[in-house]
Amino acid sequence: MAKLNMVQALNLALRQEMERDQSVVVLGEDVGRDGGVFRVTDGLLDQFGEARVIDTPLAESGILGTSIGMALGGLRPVAEMQFCGFSYLMLPQLEGHASRYRSRTHGRYTVPLVVRVPYGGGVRALEHHSEAPETFYARIPGVKVVVPSGPRNARALLVSAIRDPDPVVFLEPKRSYRAFREEVPEEEETLPIGRAQVVTDGTDLTLVSWGAMMRPALQAAEAVRQRRGASLEVLDLLTLAPLDVATLVASFRKTGRGVVVQEGPRTLGPAAEIIARVNDDALSFLEAPIRRVTGWDVVTPYFQREEAYLPSAERIERAIEETLDDK
Amino acid sequence: MPLIPLAHFEINRLQILDEHGNLDESLEPQLSPEQLLRLYRVMWLAREGDQRMLKLQRQGRVGTFGPTTGQEAPPAATALAMTERDWFVGAFRELSGMLMRGMPLASHYLFHNGWEEGNVFDAPRTLPISIIVGAQTLHAVGLAYAAKMRGERDAAAVTFFGDGATSEGDFHEALNFAGVWQAPVVFVCQNNQWAISIPRRRQTRAETLAQKAIAHGVPAIQVDGNDPLAVYSAAKEALDRAHAGGGPTLIEAVTYRLMMHTTSDDPTRYREETEVAEWWKRDPLVRFRKYLERKGLWNDERQAALEEEIRREVEEAVRTLEAATGFPLDAPFEHVLGTKHEAIERQRAEFLAARREERHG
């Protein structure tokens, strides 16, 4: 098995899916000759040619709108939005059409496509390059939202997303692109969309996160485990929509306590929804209020101020300790 | 140094049959009597179906819709020029074209009554109406790209939109992408002069809407949109070019919205009845009938028979609409995603339980 970073793992998924299925095409700004600004599509143009690896004009609505047409016409487009901060320009096409053709035609016409969106902070970029906007996408009925946290699950989830019958917004945490490597098997691997993963089993507290926040979350869990021997259950959501409520509820029923970690602003974020769903089905099992560690309700700062804004392992650790100490 | 002219453009206007039914024989397209009569019949069905629907809406028997009366020629004549392999990607005033493609009138009625079942019909490669202004033009470009990539040489995508849509970003992005990709797309602008209350002259300073294609390197023509022969000829030429690998074309069909924007709109607030009356004189149905009569294909007797036949067909569609009461209310849960998910199935169960309680409570 090769040790790959997330960029290489995503590239592997795209290459293998394009080899397997002639209808898979890649399109976006600078995805061809340049291989994408993060190099996720590196080498694809040479291997598959201009008809299947399409450098598009600079227009995000145009990229998604034409992808919808391609999907209706039998292709499996994988579109790239260059940065999350520019992805809002695709929102009318996503909400107005990609998410609705199936429902509008009762399945006669469907839109199986993937939109890859580099998202989140931690790469010290300029304004509009660091937001975590999953909340805009995860509440659109008819759209699936997937967030990998490491190279291996990124590869497996992207393969699943390409084969999925629905539009999938695939949020790639920029900070995790090259942060670490994992063994990624050459042979095919998929992961089910809509299913969270239990990273570590535990009985005292459930720690929930996704994407780039998984690393500080796991660090914090390890620190608390070592300091006081607590048994922590860590969940990696992997899919934000549709939410894997069953796994969440089962875990909170077992532990009775929990912390949810979210990179984006606090208001109306996935953490709020997760807590509400747990309250629906596991309130009587709870021994303490569920805490949130989130970004703040301010415009996401960049460069020098960014690190201070992002939830840190220390903040998460403190929230875990407080929740464990709640009487 | 002197300025050097770099580019020259012109936009031509095509008319073959004027409003009095006079024909420019040198431009007359080669259509068989069957094709001509089919076109006339479909335009009549669209007109009668539309007018009947307006009455149904006023009686509360069908939901809000955008009437198409007066605009029968551009969609129907374009659809006549299309093959079964071409994609029809409309906005929401293309009833005549969708009927020409084979959509039953009842489907149109059902959809506008809130039943998506009306969007499930057998017409080949015909997408349902698209309400967000201009968005569907991009879908057509993607469909055309897919057809080209898959080597479907007989397939192009034809998309319709109004004058208002030419102010939207998606319209320009679609023209631009189509130009760069040389995608087989035909853009048909139904310039009906009004975007709800905004007249054409307040939509853009440009002399024609056709010329907006020029900036994107896409050829364009303006046609008399109430002249079915001009629309057909322009569409046929554009489709032939698209099928032959010659890329996209924009056709601006100048027509008129004789009714309100939708049934929720009151046009007396913003336009003069005298203007509307002027455009009734250019009714495409009247003009086309005169043409058929001069060709010896039509007479009063045939007209009476057609009107009776269409009256029966429209009433049949109304009966289908009124019989449709048993569609399941939880269909939105069934079709929101292509895979089953526990959290959504639970909400469906909650919804159904709430419905049962409301009925029995």
- CATH number for the domain spanning A115: value is 3.40.50.970
Q: Is A192 a member of any domain?
A: no
A206 with A147, same domain: the answer is no
Q: Is A203 a member of any domain?
A: yes
Spatial distance between the Cα atoms of A91 and A130, rounded to a whole number of angstroms? 18
Q: Is A189 a member of any domain?
A: no
ipTM confidence score: 0.97
A178 with A260, same domain: the answer is no
- Select which of A97, A106, A128, A129 is catalytic: A129
Q: Which residue of B has its CA nearest to A112?
A: B338
The pLDDT mean for chain A works out to 97
A121 with A260, same domain: the answer is no
Confidence of residue B21 (pLDDT cuts 50, 70, 90): confident
Partnered with residue A326 across adjacent β-strands are none
In this prediction the pTM is: 0.97
Q: Say if residues A194 and B339 touch (Cβ distance below 8 Å).
A: yes
Q: Nearest 5°: phi and psi at A55?
A: -75, 115
pLDDT in tens, B88-113: 999 999 999 999 999 999 999 999 99
pLDDT score, position A1:
79
pLDDT score, position A288:
98
Got the DSSP string for A129-194? SS---HHHHHTSTT-EEE---SHHHHHHHHHHHHH-SS-EEEEEEGGGTTT--EEE-SS-----TT
DSSP A58: S
Q: Mutual orientation of helices B284-294 and B33-58 as an angle, nearest 10°? A: 150
A103 with A137, same domain: the answer is yes
A174 with A263, same domain: the answer is no
pLDDT score, position B104:
98
Q: Is A82 a member of any domain?
A: yes
Q: Quick one: tokens of B295?
A: 């060709």
> Averaged over A6-16, what is the pLDDT?
98
Q: Say if residues A205 and A255 touch (Cβ distance below 8 Å).
A: yes
- Best mutation site among B121, B143, B158, B337 for testing chain A: the one with the most A CBs within 10 Å? B337
> Averaged over B234-246, what is the pLDDT?
98
Domain boundary among A132, A152, A184: A184
Partnered with residue A179 across adjacent β-strands are none
Statement: residue A257 has pLDDT above 70: yes
pLDDT in tens, A218-248: 999 999 999 999 999 999 999 999 999 999 9
% of chain B at pLDDT higher than 90 = 97
Task: For chain B, say whether A93 makes contact (Cβ under 8 Å).
Answer: yes
Statement: residue B361 has pLDDT above 70: no
Domain boundary among A132, A153, A184: A184
Q: Residues 97 to 126 of A: which have CB under 8 A from any B CB?
A: 97, 102-110, 112
Q: Residues 227 to 266 of A: which have CB under 8 A from any B CB?
A: 242-246
Q: Is A273 a member of any domain?
A: yes
Q: Is A62 a member of any domain?
A: yes
Q: Which residue of A has its CA nearest to B168?
A: A61
A141 with A267, same domain: the answer is no
Spatial distance between the Cα atoms of A232 and A222, rounded to a whole number of angstroms? 9
A268 with A311, same domain: the answer is yes
Statement: residue B360 has pLDDT above 80: no
Q: A129 an active-site residue?
A: yes
- CATH at residue A308: 3.40.50.920
A78 with A150, same domain: the answer is yes
pLDDT score, position B82:
98
- Quick check: A73 and B128 CB within 8 A? no
> Averaged over A34-44, what is the pLDDT?
98
Q: Is A190 a member of any domain?
A: no
pLDDT score, position B53:
98
pLDDT score, position A18:
98
Statement: residue A318 has pLDDT above 70: yes
Provide the residue range defining the domain that includes A6.
2-184
Q: Say if residues A135 and B307 touch (Cβ distance below 8 Å).
A: no
Confidence of residue B326 (pLDDT cuts 50, 70, 90): confident
Give the nearest partner residue to A51 out of B89, B149, B339, using CB atoms.
Answer: B149
Q: Is A217 helix (H, G, I), strand (E, B) or coil?
A: helix
Spatial distance between the Cα atoms of B96 and B47, rounded to a whole number of angstroms? 8
A149 with A253, same domain: the answer is no
First to last CA, chain B: 87
pLDDT score, position B119:
97
Q: Is A227 helix (H, G, I), strand (E, B) or coil?
A: helix
% of chain B at pLDDT higher than 70 = 100
**Short-list B240, B245, B192, B238, CA closest to B213:** B238
Statement: residue B168 has pLDDT above 80: yes
Indicate left, alpha or beta for B114 from its phi (over 0: left) and psi (-120 to 50: alpha): left
- Quick check: A66 and B138 CB within 8 A? yes
> Averaged over A206-225, what is the pLDDT?
98
Q: Is A130 a member of any domain?
A: yes
> Averaged over A203-212, what is the pLDDT?
98
A154 with A217, same domain: the answer is no
The domain tally of chain A equals: 2
pLDDT score, position B136:
98
Domain boundary among A133, A161, A184: A184
pLDDT in tens, B277-302: 999 999 999 999 999 999 999 999 99
pLDDT score, position B54:
98
Q: What is the 3-state secondary structure (H, E, C) of chain B?
A: CCCCCCCCCCCCEECCECCCCCECHHHCCCCCHHHHHHHHHHHHHHHHHHHHHHHHHHCCCCCCCCCCCCCCHHHHHHHHHCCCCCEEECCCCCHHHHHHHCCCHHHHHHHCCCCHHHHCCCCCCECCCCCCCCCHHHHHHHHHHHHHHCCCCCCCEEEEEECHHHHCHHHHHHHHHHHHHCCCEEEEEEECCEECCEEHHHHCCCCCCHHHHHHHCCCEEEEECCCHHHHHHHHHHHHHHHHCCCCCEEEEEECCCCCCCCCCCCHHHCCCHHHHHHHHCCCHHHHHHHHHHHCCCCCHHHHHHHHHHHHHHHHHHHHHHHHCCCCCCCHHHHHCCCCCCHHHHHHHHHHHHHHHHHHHC
Spatial distance between the Cα atoms of B67 and B71, rounded to a whole number of angstroms? 9
A169 with A142, same domain: the answer is yes
A175 with A60, same domain: the answer is yes
Give the nearest partner residue to B343 out of A56, A64, A243, using CB atoms.
Answer: A243
- Best mutation site among B121, B127, B145, B329 for testing chain A: the one with the most A CBs within 10 Å? B145
pLDDT in tens, A150-172: 999 999 999 999 999 999 999 99
- Quick check: A62 and B173 CB within 8 A? yes
